[in-house]
Structure 1
Amino acid sequence: MGFNNPDVSVDVFPYLRVYRDGTIERIAGTEVVPAGHDSETDVLSKDIVIVPGTGVSARVYRPNFVRKEQKLPLVVYFHGGAFCIATVAEPKYHTSLNKLVAESNVVVLSVDYRLAPEHPLPVAYEDSWAALQWVASHVLGEGGQENWLKDYVDFEQVFLAGDSAGANIAHHLALRIKDSDLGQHLKILGIGMIHPYFWGITPIETEITDRFRKELVDNWWLFVCPSDKGCDDPLINPFVDGASDVAGLACDRVLVIVAEKDILRDRGKLYYEKLVKSGWQGTAELMDIEGEDHVFHIFEPNSVKAKGMTKRLASFFNKGKAPVL
Structure 2
Amino acid sequence: MDTNKAELDYEFSPLLRAYKNGHIERLVDTDTVPPSFDPQINVTSKDVLIIPDSKVSARVYLPKLANTNKKLPLLVYFHGGGFCISSPFDSTYHRFLNSLVSRANVVAVSVDYRLAPEHPVPIAYEDSWAALKWIASHSEGHGPETWLKEFVDFSKVFLAGDSAGANIAHNMAMLAGDPNGGLSVIILGVALVHPYFWGSEPIGSEATGDPEWKDFLNRLWPFVCPSVPNHDNPQINPVGAGAPSLSRLGCKKVRVCVAQKDILRDRGWLYYETLRKCGWNNGDVEITETEGEGHDFHLYNPTCEKANNLIECLAAFLNLESPAL
Q: What is the TM-score with the length of structure 1 in the denominator?
A: 0.93
Query: Could you tell me which residue of structure 2 aligns to residue 3 of structure 1?
Result: none
Report the more deviating stretch, 203-212 or 52-61. 203-212
- Deviations 1:110-131 (Å, cap 9, x if unpaired)? 0000000110010000000001
Q: Distance in 2 between matches of 1:31 and 1:74?
A: 27
1:87 matched residue in structure 2: 87
Deviations 1:166-200 (CA, angstroms, capped at 9, x unpaired): 11011111111122455663000000110000001
Unaligned ranges ≥5, structure 2: 1-5
Q: What CA distance in whole angstroms lies between the structure 1 residues aligned with 2:253 and 2:242?
A: 22
**CA 186–228 in structure 1, closer or farther in 2 if over 3 Å, else same:** closer
Percent of residue pairs identical: 52
**For residue 149 of structure 2, what is the amino acid of its counterpart?**
K
CA deviation after TM superposition for structure 1 residue 243, in Å: 1.2
| Alignment partner, residue 249 of structure 2 | 249
Letter in 2 for 1:46: K
Q: Does 1:290 align with 2:291?
A: yes
Whether 1:34 and 2:34 are equivalent positions in the alignment is yes
1:164 CA drift (Å) = 0.4
Decide which moves more: 30-39 or 19-28. 19-28
Residue in structure 2 matched with residue 122 of structure 1 by the alignment: 122
AA matched with 1:76: V
Please say which of residues 233-242 and 121-130 is displaced more in the overlay.
Answer: 233-242
Displacement after TM superposition at 1:89 (Å): 0.6
Contact 1:136–1:182 (Cα < 8 Å) also in 2: no
Does structure 1 residue 106 correspond to structure 2 residue 106?
yes
Give the equivalent residue in structure 2 for 1:24: 24
Aligned position for 2:315: 314
State whether residues 12 and 219 of structure 1, in contact with CA within 8 Å, keep that contact through their aligned partners in structure 2.
no
AA aligned to 1:112 is: D
1:60 equivalent to 2:57? Answer no
**Matched residues in 2 for 1:71 and 1:182: separation?**
26
Q: C-alpha distance in 2, partners of 1:54/1:39?
A: 33
Give the residue type in structure 1 aligned to 2:289: D
Moved over 6 A (4+): none
How many residues in Structure 1 have an aligned counterpart in Structure 2?
314
**Cα deviations by residue, 1:261-311 (Å, 9 ceiling, x for unpaired):** 111111111100110011112010001000111111101111100110111
Segments of structure 1 that go 5 or more residues without pairing to the other structure are 1-5, 321-325
Q: Distance in 2 between matches of 1:163 and 1:199?
A: 15
Q: Which residue number in structure 1 is paired with residue 78 of structure 2?
A: 78
Instruction: Give the stretch that moved more between structures: 22-31 or 256-265.
Output: 22-31
Deviation (angstroms), 1:244: 2.4
**Alignment CA distance shift 1:47-1:184 (3 Å):** closer
Q: Give the equivalent residue in structure 1 for 2:3.
A: none
1:315 aligned partner, one-letter code: A
Distance of 1:225 and 1:182 partners within structure 2: 23
Deviation at 1:42, TM superposition (A): 1.4
Q: What is the identity, as a one-letter code, of the residue corresponding to 1:115?
A: L
Determine the C-alpha separation between the residues in 2 that align with 1:228 and 1:164. Answer: 19
